[in-house]
Amino acid sequence: MSLASSVLAGERLALARLLSQIENDHPSGRAALGELFSHTGQAHLVGVTGAPGTGKSSLVNRLAHHYRHPPPGVSQRKIAIVAVDPSSPFTGGAILGDRVRMRDLSGDPGIFIRSMAARGSLGGLAPTTASMVQVFDAAGFEIIIIETVGAGQAEVDIARLAHTTLVVEAPGLGDEIQAIKAGILEIADILVVNKADRPGVENTERALRSMLELAHPTRRVFKHHGLNETIPMPERESNDDSLWVPPIVRTVATQGDGLPELVEAIADHQDHLEITGERQDRDRTRLQAELELLIQGNLVSRWRQGISDSQYQEILESLIARQISPHQAVDALLDGGQKA
């Protein structure tokens, strides 16, 4: 039985093995993913991002717990969590968090948690995350939570992988932060004010609300990091019924407060995506972005194989001696590479 078939059959060990192969960019992982890909497209992908200190991880744990232990009459969902830490390119911070988490949620076969630090990804963080999500999707996980730390370009790239993006805030993280958030707000489908039992929650919510009014996109533009292309999303009128206004949900993750409301907001957004056809748009945007990042990585490695180390070193030395400029070095290297 192939690895892909074992994953489709629900074998956890096979799943873990495939995820490792993908993280290490192993050819057999790529082959298995090729077999699995036609089984993807069923899961609902939930991105969770926000600044450090907002309690994202506790929130994600609670959210998973809630999907696993729903109120009577609501069906239980299979949950996967992919925790990505682009801010630790050096240390294995994500892995530590994983252990703490495993203790809380382990033993439930309907849940699978995978952490990834930037160091673990060879082909770039976003494409590796995309592949992992596809494996979980094919393996029948119904809700896949993609959690990232911070608010940089890597987080925005990863948030683009999701159908529903949660941006998590918390009271009392300072004023300057507010200015920074304006950018990340535009990727939010749902705003969560976690630690809502802390003082200052009204101020935080008020600030978010006024920023929402300011920032509210009548037109969303996603910067394409891969091919440096900008894809404008369809224009949406503010009186349009199909407009999604990001709700603000207060939670206290450590006590489970606000979790039913959050789950409901996610379900509402899922319905909104289905009804408006936006789900398909997002799937298309996501796959195109992934394709472009993969192409970029492949072009570089193909080129690198076509040029000798000595050619490369010679041009590099001329650059370092400032005999040629970086752009002149690029021209020299690419012409060298194309001859090969």
**Interacting positions 165-224 with a copy of itself (CB under 8 A):** 173-177, 179-180, 182-184, 186-187, 215, 221, 223
Q: Which stretch binds a copy of itself (CB under 8 A): 4-12, 62-70, 267-275, 289-297?
A: 289-297
For the chain, how many residues are written?
Answer: 340
**CB of 140 or CB of 297, closer to a copy of itself:** 297
Q: Which amino acid is at 172?
A: G
Name the packing angle between helices 278-305 and 125-138 (round to 10°).
130
Residue carrying structure tokens 């994953």: 7
* Binder of a copy of itself out of 47, 86, 246, 258 (CB under 8 A): 86
Comparing CA positions, the residue from 327, 302, 333 lying closest to residue 315 is 333
Distance CA(130)–CA(121), nearest Å, equals: 12
- 332, 315 in Cβ contact below 8 A? yes
* Binder of a copy of itself out of 6, 49, 129, 131 (CB under 8 A): 131
Binding mask 7-46 for a copy of itself (x = CB under 8 A): -----------------------x--xx--xx-xx-----
Q: Is 156 in the site for a copy of itself (CB under 8 A)?
A: yes
Q: Which long-range contacts (CB under 8 A, 24 or more apart) does 197-200 make?
A: 197/252, 197/255, 197/257, 198/170, 198/171, 198/172, 199/171, 199/172, 200/171, 200/172
Q: Which stretch binds a copy of itself (CB under 8 A): 13-21, 64-72, 147-155, 263-271?
A: 147-155
* Binder of a copy of itself out of 89, 234, 260, 277 (CB under 8 A): 89
Q: Report the Cα 218 to chain-centroid distance in Å.
A: 24
Q: Is 299 in the site for a copy of itself (CB under 8 A)?
A: yes
* Binder of a copy of itself out of 55, 171, 246, 258 (CB under 8 A): 55
Q: What is the DSSP string of 14-59?
A: HHHHHHHHHHTT-HHHHHHHHHHGGG-S-SEEEEEEE-TTS-HHHH
Q: Which stretch binds a copy of itself (CB under 8 A): 107-115, 152-160, 201-209, 243-251?
A: 152-160
Beta bridge partners of 204: none
CB of 137 to a copy of itself, least distance (A): 11
Q: Which stretch binds a copy of itself (CB under 8 A): 9-17, 63-71, 114-122, 238-246?
A: 114-122
Q: Which residues, 226 to 285, sit near a copy of itself by CB under 8 A?
A: 226-228, 283-284
